């Protein structure tokens, strides 16, 4: 069945909530307004106000409420209108949710999903254009997922909801309308921590998650026109990262370009680069290249924004650099 | 016997000491514990004690001189003793003079001259005459770091290519894969030429040596780089020559290394294979009904070995002399020796203990086919932690195999044979299979190897255990 990304996410939540009464959705505008981006459209009507809950503008409060509910046996889905606002709830997300099981000696688990759009989405200004995957994947105890298409989003969100650990599920405002075939299986569970080789190639490996996956695929098409076959890997899960798949690909192609919308310092790209040099050093024929946003706040002007967000041309350039053809 | 006195390390951070004052003169008798000098370190001025009794024969540095830790500063011994083997005359005289005459200016000149001598100034023809030292890997003849990608470095090492002879085409002259591959081709072309007999065979058409056609990258598979030398199968020729392929060279090097460095011993068991063959037939019926792969006895042995390895970590190990450790591998990767035209290769079933029989069967089939087509990637034949070799299909009853380094053991599998066996006092038809484990005694002791075989046997004689 063809669904938009927002519909696939809704399908995942709806199916899981039908299956398990302990699951509820909470966040700003999720109920009466049907979701700021219409992800939760119709869910209030179906499940009622006790399971689809509007909150005040109080991220720290409702994230903490979710964690408390999870500790007491429920399985909350906490929607951040965007992950920029999750910073207000930072202490709950990075300190309480991932550490509770450890600090309680296993007495409490926190089966919670924090979800919402992440990353830039056009002219939103610096404070509303943050990419948070590197940040959240730095904290032990949090799983971080960032799918690139509706089918993966459904399968991985269902897995995230059923997972007993806290999961940060990163969506993309610009991809909510992206259509794709989605499994209708009620138990469609994609394993967390498994990358997908989206395109096979022998000359260079490109890695990109979420929006950047599509940039990598576009770059692979351009490279193919120029006679270079790129292998494209969508990690799908940022943490735990499927290093095995990445390393095997690099052993084959001997070259790697990591595409990551984050700012470069301590980014996901940094970590991938480290893992690869550590585990595939003797297979590298060129330094690993990264294509990321620059180390600056996101601009507002459209021309500057175009220059800011990684694009296929940047990836092609980086790939040719590691192929020694420039 | 003369005893050298060296600048001692008097503080943790001290790198050199200044001899601030001599408290004994040449010719003085000193006893162990006597303070003979004061040394100024980076922290404090401290006493320098003699550790032995004797006569202070020579002071080699003057007061105020700074010398690094460990440098000879004085010699103790018996009166009149010859100390020329401890000090060379020039510096001894210079130092001695300096100490006696307290002429710092002269001393400075002397040591400066000595330093200059050690530095081998450029343009000193005499020094250049010495035989050049071997160039350490990774540096050129002038000792500069050669820029090469890690992959290029590995390829060069594997193929014995001297990187200092390769021109790099990458940024800042970095040597990359393509450069090393080009060099390998050059070398191989060169070898072909030198191997051509100097005197042409009578009546033979002089043929130019053809350069080897090398489509695949040489690193992808140990490749058959046959010399294309024309065969000399003429009448009466006493022998035919064939060049040694890269694969044969690799086999030669690795197996010789194994046999020469790993002390092998061998344990043979003869197992009851009746249940194994029954279960295999049942499994195949079910597998084929589901369009699954055909499961061979070897697949069952792969699985059984992997499960047995889990219980015997010292068999799933490597003796790594260079690293100074025995490495017990946490994961179990079973290599399976596959005969191919040019030799043999061992594709690897990774995590064989965690894979089902159909998956093992399918992977083994696929890898073996690709091995024969020489399509294996390095990661598909590297990294085995244990290896099996099966010659049963040739009617071999049992044999011993050479360990595939850095494994600790290899299992040699013979044929499943029909044989009379004694059961409950009766001679009845039975099925038996012999297996011989070659063990590296540096890691695996006799009892450990025997216990491993016992576990393996229990899996194979009661194969339903494989499914648990």
Instruction: Give residue-wise pLDDT tens across range A224-261.
Output: 999 999 999 999 999 999 999 999 999 999 999 999 99
Chain A closest-CA separation from residue B378 CA (Å) = 8
Q: Which of A250, A282, A323, A326 is the best substitution to test chain B (most B C-beta atoms within 10 A)?
A: A282
Contacts of A243 in chain B (CB under 8 A): none
Six token digits for residue B287: 């597998």
**Which tens digits make up the pLDDT trace of A170-214?**
999 999 999 999 999 989 999 999 999 999 999 999 999 999 999
At residue B152, the pLDDT reads 92
**Which chain A residue is nearest to residue B177, measuring alpha carbons?**
A285
Decide if A142 contacts A239 (C-beta within 8 A): yes
> Quick check: B251 contacting A, CB < 8 Å?
no
Buried b (16+ CB within 10 A) or exposed e, B402-434: bbbbbbbbbbbbbbbeeeeeeeeeeeeeebbbb
Chain A closest-CA separation from residue B149 CA (Å) = 5
**Alpha carbons B182 and A135: distance in angstroms, whole number:** 45
The count of other CB atoms within 10 Å of the CB of residue A122 is 12
Annotated catalytic, A133?
Answer: no
Contacts of B330 in chain A (CB under 8 A): none
> Quick check: B176 contacting A, CB < 8 Å?
yes
At residue B138, the pLDDT reads 61
> Quick check: B215 contacting A, CB < 8 Å?
no
Assess whether the previous peptide bond of B188 is cis (omega < 30° from 0). Answer: no
Comparing CB atoms, the residue among B150, B169, B178 nearest residue A282 is: B150
Contacts of B150 in chain A (CB under 8 A): 281-285
**Alpha carbons B68 and B211: distance in angstroms, whole number:** 58
Test A285 with B151 for CB contact under 8 angstroms: yes
> Quick check: B377 contacting A, CB < 8 Å?
yes
pLDDT under 50: residue ranges of chain B: 90-136, 192-233
Question: Which pLDDT band, with edges at 50, 70 and 90, does A285 fall under?
Answer: very high
Contacts of B158 in chain A (CB under 8 A): none
> What are the residue boundaries of the structural domains of chain A, listed by start?
2-181, 196-322
Catalytic residue among A16, A28, A59, A79: A59
Place of tokens 């003979």: B36
> Quick check: B136 contacting A, CB < 8 Å?
no
Test A283 with B154 for CB contact under 8 angstroms: yes
Catalytic residue among A29, A128, A218, A229: A128
At residue B139, the pLDDT reads 65
- ipTM given for this complex: 0.74
Q: Running DSSP on this structure, what letter comes out for residue A180?
A: E
Contacts of B377 in chain A (CB under 8 A): 251-252
Chain B closest-CA separation from residue A278 CA (Å) = 12
Contacts of B137 in chain A (CB under 8 A): none
Higher pLDDT: A85 or B8? It is A85
Q: Running DSSP on this structure, what letter comes out for residue A173?
A: G
At residue B305, the pLDDT reads 96
Judging by beta carbons within 10 Å of its beta carbon (0-12, 13-18, 19+), is residue A249 exposed, middle or buried?
A: buried
Sequence-distant (6+) residues with CB within 8 A of B238 are: none
**Which tens digits make up the pLDDT trace of A19-56?**
999 999 999 999 999 999 999 999 999 999 999 999 99
User: Which domains, ranges and CATH numbers included, belong to chain B?
Assistant: 3-117 (2.40.50.100), 144-199+207-230 (4.10.320.10), 263-467 (3.30.559.10)
At residue B170, the pLDDT reads 87
Test A283 with B151 for CB contact under 8 angstroms: yes
Across residues A250-277, what is the average pLDDT? Answer: 96
Decide if A34 contacts A6 (C-beta within 8 A): no
Test B151 with A324 for CB contact under 8 angstroms: no
Active site residues of B: 441
> Quick check: B138 contacting A, CB < 8 Å?
no
Chain center to CA of B346: 19
Comparing CB atoms, the residue among A248, A252, A284 nearest residue B149 is: A284
Chain A closest-CA separation from residue B248 CA (Å) = 24
Test A324 with B377 for CB contact under 8 angstroms: no
Comparing CB atoms, the residue among B149, B171, B377 nearest residue A285 is: B149
Spell out where A245-293 has E strands: 256-259, 289-291
Contacts of B153 in chain A (CB under 8 A): 282
Asked if domains A2-181 and A196-322 share a fold, the reply is: yes
**Alpha carbons B235 and B237: distance in angstroms, whole number:** 6
Decide if B37 contacts B65 (C-beta within 8 A): no
Test A285 with B153 for CB contact under 8 angstroms: no
Decide if B201 contacts B234 (C-beta within 8 A): yes
Comparing CB atoms, the residue among B153, B170, B377 nearest residue A324 is: B170
Comparing CB atoms, the residue among B169, B171, B177 nearest residue A254 is: B177
At residue B159, the pLDDT reads 87
**Alpha carbons B27 and A33: distance in angstroms, whole number:** 103
φ, ψ for residue B68, nearest 5 deg: -70, 160
Which helix (H) or strand (E) covers residue A131, if one does? none
Numbered residues of chain A with Cβ closer than 8 Å to any chain B Cβ: 248, 251-252, 254, 281-286, 324
Comparing CB atoms, the residue among B153, B171, B377 nearest residue A252 is: B377
Q: Sheet containing A75-79: give its strands across.
A: A52-54, A23-27, A75-79, A113-117, A167-171, A143-145, A237-239
At residue B86, the pLDDT reads 79
Class of domain A196-322: alpha beta
Helix (H, G, I), strand (E, B) or coil at A20: coil
**Alpha carbons A144 and A193: distance in angstroms, whole number:** 9
Q: Which of A286, A287, A288, A318 is the best substitution to test chain B (most B C-beta atoms within 10 A)?
A: A286
Out of 3.60.15.10, 3.40.50.970, 3.40.50.720, 3.30.70.20, the CATH code matching A2-181 is 3.40.50.970
**Alpha carbons A18 and A12: distance in angstroms, whole number:** 10
Question: Which pLDDT band, with edges at 50, 70 and 90, does A126 fall under?
Answer: very high
**Alpha carbons B217 and B178: distance in angstroms, whole number:** 9
At residue A112, the pLDDT reads 98
* Mean pLDDT across chain A: 97
**Alpha carbons B402 and B383: distance in angstroms, whole number:** 17
**Which chain B residue is nearest to residue A249, measuring alpha carbons?**
B379
Q: Running DSSP on this structure, what letter comes out for residue A209?
A: -
Contacts of A286 in chain B (CB under 8 A): 149, 170, 176
The pTM for the full model equals 0.52
At residue B467, the pLDDT reads 77
At residue B459, the pLDDT reads 94
């Amino acid at each position: 069945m063809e669904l938009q990304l927002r519909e696939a996410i809704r399908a995942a939540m709806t199916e899981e909530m039908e299956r398990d009464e302990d699951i509820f959705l909470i966040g700003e505008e999720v109920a009466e307004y049907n979701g700021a981006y219409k992800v939760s459209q119709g869910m209030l009507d179906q499940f009622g106000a006790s399971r689809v809950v509007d909150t005040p503008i109080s991220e720290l409060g409702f994230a903490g409420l979710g964690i408390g509910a999870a500790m007491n046996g429920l399985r909350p889905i906490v929607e951040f209108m965007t992950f920029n606002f999750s910073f207000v709830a930072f202490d709950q997300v990075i300190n309480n949710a991932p550490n509770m099981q450890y600090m309680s000696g296993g007495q409490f688990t926190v089966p919670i999903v924090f979800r919402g759009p992440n990353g830039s989405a056009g002219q939103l200004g610096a404070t509303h254009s943050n990419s948070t995957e590197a940040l959240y994947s730095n904290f032990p105890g949090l799983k971080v997922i960032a799918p690139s298409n509706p089918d993966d989003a459904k399968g991985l969100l269902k897995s995230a909801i059923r997972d007993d650990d806290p999961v940060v599920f990163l969506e993309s405002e610009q991809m909510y309308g992206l259509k794709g075939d989605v499994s209708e299986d009620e138990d469609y569970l994609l394993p967390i921590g498994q990358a997908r080789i989206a395109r096979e190639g022998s000359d260079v490996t490109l890695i990109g998650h979420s929006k950047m996956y599509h940039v990598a695929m576009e770059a692979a098409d351009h490279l193919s026109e120029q006679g270079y076959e790129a292998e494209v890997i969508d990690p799908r899960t940022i943490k735990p990262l499927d290093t095995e798949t990445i390393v095997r690909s690099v052993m084959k192609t001997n070259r790697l370009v990591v595409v990551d919308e984050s700012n470069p310092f301590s980014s996901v790209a940094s970590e991938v680069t480290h893992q690869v040099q550590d585990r595939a050093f003797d297979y590298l024929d060129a330094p690993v290249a990264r294509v990321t946003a620059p180390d600056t706040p996101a601009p507002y002007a459209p021309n500057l924004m175009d220059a800011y967000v990684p694009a296929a041309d940047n990836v092609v350039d980086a790939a040719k650099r590691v192929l020694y053809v420039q | 016997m003369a005893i050298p006195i060296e600048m001692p390390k008097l503080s943790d951070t001290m790198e050199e000491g200044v001899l601030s004052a001599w408290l004994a003169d040449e010719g003085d008798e000193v006893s162990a514990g006597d303070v003979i000098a004061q040394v100024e370190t980076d922290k404090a001025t401290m006493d320098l004690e003699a550790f032995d009794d004797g006569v202070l024969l020579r002071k080699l540095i003057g007061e105020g001189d700074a010398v690094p830790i460990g440098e000879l500063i004085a010699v103790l011994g018996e009166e009149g003793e010859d100390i020329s083997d401890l000090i060379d005359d020039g510096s001894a005289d210079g130092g001695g003079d300096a100490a006696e005459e307290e002429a710092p200016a002269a001393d400075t000149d002397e040591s400066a001259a000595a330093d200059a001598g050690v530095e081998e100034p450029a343009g000193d023809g005499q020094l250049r005459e010495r035989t050049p030292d071997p160039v350490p890997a990774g540096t050129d003849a002038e000792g500069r770091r050669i820029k090469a990608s890690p992959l290029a470095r590995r390829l060069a090492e594997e193929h014995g290519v001297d990187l200092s002879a390769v021109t790099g085409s990458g940024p800042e002259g970095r040597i990359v894969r393509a450069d090393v591959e080009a060099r390998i081709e050059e070398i191989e072309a060169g070898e072909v030429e030198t191997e051509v007999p100097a005197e042409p065979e009578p009546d033979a058409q002089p043929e130019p040596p053809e350069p080897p056609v090398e489509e695949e990258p040489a690193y992808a598979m140990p490749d058959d780089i046959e010399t294309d030398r024309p065969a000399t199968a003429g009448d009466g020729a006493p022998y035919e020559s064939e060049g040694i392929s890269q694969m044969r060279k690799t086999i030669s090097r690795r197996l010789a290394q194994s046999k020469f460095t790993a002390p092998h011993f061998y344990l043979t068991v003869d197992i009851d294979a009746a249940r194994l063959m029954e279960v295999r037939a049942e499994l195949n019926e079910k597998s084929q009904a589901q369009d699954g792969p055909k499961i061979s006895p070897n697949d069952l042995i792969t699985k059984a070995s992997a499960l047995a390895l889990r219980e015997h970590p010292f068999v799933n190990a490597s003796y790594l002399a260079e690293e100074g450790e025995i490495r017990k591998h946490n994961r179990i990767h079973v290599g399976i020796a596959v005969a191919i035209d040019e030799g043999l290769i061992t594709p690897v079933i990774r995590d064989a203990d965690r894979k089902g029989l159909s998956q093992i069967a399918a992977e083994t089939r696929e890898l073996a086919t690709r091995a024969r087509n020489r399509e294996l990637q390095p990661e598909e034949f590297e990294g085995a932690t244990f290896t099996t070799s099966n010659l049963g299909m040739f009617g071999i009853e049992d044999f011993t195999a050479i360990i595939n380094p850095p494994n600790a053991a290899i299992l040699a599998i013979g044929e499943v044979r029909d044989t009379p066996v004694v059961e409950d006092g009766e001679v009845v038809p039975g099925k038996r299979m012999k297996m011989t484990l070659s063990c590296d005694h540096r890691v695996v002791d006799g009892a450990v190897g025997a216990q491993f075989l016992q576990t393996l046997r229990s899996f194979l004689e009661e194969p339903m255990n494989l499914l648990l």
